[in-house]
Amino acid sequence: MDEKNLHGSIFKKLREERGYKLKDVAGDVISTRTLMRFEADETSISIAVFEKLLENCGIGFLDYLVYYFDNAYIENSEFSKKLSGYVQSGSQSKIVNECKKELKKNKIGLSKRIDILSIIQASNWREEDREISDNKRIIREIIESTNKLGWNEIIGLNFLIEYSSREEYSIEYIDRIIVECLQNIPVRNYLSQYVGSAYCNLLIGSLAFLSRNGYYELVEKRCKEAIEVFDEQSFLIEKTNFYVEVLRILATVYLRQNKKEGIDLANKVLKYKNIVAEITGDAYHKRLRDAAYKNFYEVNKTGLDIEF
């Protein structure tokens, strides 16, 4: 297959450096043949399987993560260097043109496709050129062809849903993604801490999709379920931030429906964001606070003032 999973080749390098044979690492987790295909970047594997392979190599996830970034050489690529310069110059057209040139190459992996998608979306480029549209379509087709979301699929789907319209995804599909997120957020170990955080981001993007498209009853139900899941996860990374984002979505839904409890909830969210902004003094957090206030103000149908 054309799509590659960079984790495969890097995992192979790690395994060989540590002196493990294919059959020993594969064990009873997967077949040696499947492991060979994964390491050759010919197929992907589920997060659960990858976790067991790491255990068979005698390495923890945090150590693997350090090894991965040390060996990915992402910062040294010509593509990344050019983009870095264009980002610093603020040239939107040059960023997009460089991405389009990269997309014209053969055998572009899913990871790079997602990177390009995120870069273009971050640049606020609104024109749907053929290369950009095809990239989104290919990412979506790859994700929808899998039975279980993996590393890249979680990230890619989050980007797609965040900027999608009501016509692009059915409510049944989005709700199925939300259910899968809720099932995979609970923390079991170091690896699932980071996986859980990725699922939290996808959950919030999916809840926001339901909210902006008017599925109020369902989004209210799923928000409350998410809060229950968060309450049980003491070791979830950035738990408070995810918690507040779900409350923000719930407050928005209440305000849109003229429910007064939305005012109290909105005030709590804004007070938290204001504390973070004041403590950090970070302009980014101030923008997030101001954006949340603007959103609440625009959707508020209660006739009551937001006190913040």
Q: Report the Cα–Cα distance between both ends of the chain, in Å, rounded.
A: 54
Contact between 287 and 298 under an 8 Å Cβ cutoff? The reply is: no
Contact between 193 and 235 under an 8 Å Cβ cutoff? The reply is: yes
What lies within 8 Å, CB to CB, of 176 at 6+ separation is: none
- Of the pLDDT bands very low, low, confident and very high (cuts 50, 70, 90), residue 299 is very high
Across 170-178, average pLDDT: 95
Return the closest-CA partner of residue 94 out of 84, 104, 105: 84
pLDDT at 4 over 70: no
Across 274-284, average pLDDT: 93
Across 242-252, average pLDDT: 97
Least confident of 77-86, 136-145, 157-166, 187-196: 77-86
d(CA 304, CA 255): 10
Say what the pLDDT of residue 3 is. Answer: 39
Contact between 72 and 111 under an 8 Å Cβ cutoff? The reply is: no
Across 75-85, average pLDDT: 65
Say what the pLDDT of residue 191 is. Answer: 62
Task: Tally Cβ neighbours within 10 Å of residue 278.
Answer: 12
d(CA 175, CA 166): 13
Least confident of 159-163, 218-222, 260-264: 159-163
Say what the pLDDT of residue 223 is. Answer: 97
pLDDT tens sequence across 141-152:
988 887 777 778
Say what the pLDDT of residue 120 is. Answer: 85
Contact between 289 and 248 under an 8 Å Cβ cutoff? The reply is: no
Say what the pLDDT of residue 278 is. Answer: 94
Sign of CA dihedral 5, 9, 12, 13: negative
What region does 306 belong to: left with phi over 0, alpha with psi -120 to 50, or beta? beta
Instruction: Please tell me which residue, 93 or 210, carries the higher pLDDT value.
Output: 210
Say what the pLDDT of residue 190 is. Answer: 63
pLDDT at 1 over 70: no
CA-to-CA separations, 175 to 3, 80, 218, in angstroms, rounded: 27, 35, 8
Across 67-91, average pLDDT: 67
**Over the chain, what is the mean pLDDT?**
87
Across 205-209, average pLDDT: 96
Say what the pLDDT of residue 291 is. Answer: 94
Contact between 46 and 148 under an 8 Å Cβ cutoff? The reply is: yes
What is this structure's pTM? Answer: 0.75
pLDDT at 75 over 50: no
Across 122-143, average pLDDT: 86
